Structure 1
Amino acid sequence: MDSRLDYPFTVDRRGRTATTDKSDHLQDMIHAVLFTRPGERVNRPDFGCGLAALLFQPNTTVLAGETRLQVMSALQRWLATAITVERVEVQAAEERLVVTIEYIRLDTGQRVTDTFQAG
């Protein structure tokens, strides 16, 4: 079995470091890129997208378009060896930002659609 450390870091019921499968690990990596603010990581200050910070911006179509470009750019930069981003859709609904990402896993060729929410 191909297991990897789960994110966020947790301990399983046996008292060991929790692990996850490759599919969940890929979702964890996407989540890390989306919700890490640039400057937050000491050794990689340019890592991340800072999606949560966009919540406090005025809820407009301009914000949705800017967010879409920011998300696509960050995913292509940091996860280009794992996925090919096909489509990013951003919906701003009141105090939430909903991002739907359609991508192809490079290890399997499988097309995946995941939704992430901020707020």
Structure 2
Amino acid sequence: MTLHVHFPLQFDGRGRTRDDDEALWIRGLIEQVLFTMPGERVMRPDFGSGLRELVFAPNSPELAATTQFLVQSALQQWMADLITVERVEISAIDASLSVNINYAIRRTGNRYQETFLQETAQGGGI
């Protein structure tokens, strides 16, 4: 059995590192790719998607298209061995971006759809 450490790191009721099933573990990895800024990790300065850098850009169709490109590229670069990205949809809704990702886990073939929200500057940013 492979241990998949929960993201963010937590401890279970026994005081041991909490683990997740593969689907939750992969969702956590996707979240790390999306919300890590390039340059944030010392030993991997190109890791991340740049999504958080777009927080202060005005919400627009251009921002949604840029975000879609960044997300798709980052997931293909960093997660290609674990998932097949089937679709990335970005919706600009009021003062936030909705990032909807359809993917399949390569090992099992199971398909998932996850949605992540990122507020833009019009919504006050982070």
Q: TM-score range by the shorter chain?
A: over 0.9
1:63-82 to 2 correspondence within 5 Å?
Answer: 63-82=63-82
How far 1:81 sits from its partner (Å)?
Answer: 0.4
Gap regions ≥5 residues in structure 1? none
| Aligned residue type for 1:33 | V
- Counterpart in the other structure of 1:55: 55
- Counterpart in the other structure of 1:40: 40
Q: TM-score with structure 1 length normalisation?
A: 0.93
Mapped partners of 1:29, 1:68: distance in 2: 18
- Aligned residue pairs, count: 119
1:110 aligns with 2:110: yes
SS at the partner of 1:81? Answer: coil
- Counterpart in the other structure of 1:87: 87
What per-residue deviation string (whole Å, max 9, x for no partner) do you get for residues 16-42 of structure 1?
211111110000110000000000000
Mapped partners of 1:70, 1:50: distance in 2: 7
Gap regions ≥5 residues in structure 2? 120-126
1:96 aligns with 2:89: no
- 8 A Cα contact 1:2 1:21, kept in partner: no
Mapped partners of 1:77, 1:22: distance in 2: 20
- 8 A Cα contact 1:55 1:97, kept in partner: no
Mapped partners of 1:53, 1:10: distance in 2: 27
| Aligned residue type for 2:50 | G
SS at the partner of 2:115? Answer: strand
What per-residue deviation string (whole Å, max 9, x for no partner) do you get for residues 70-109 of structure 1?
1000000000101111110011223322100011210111
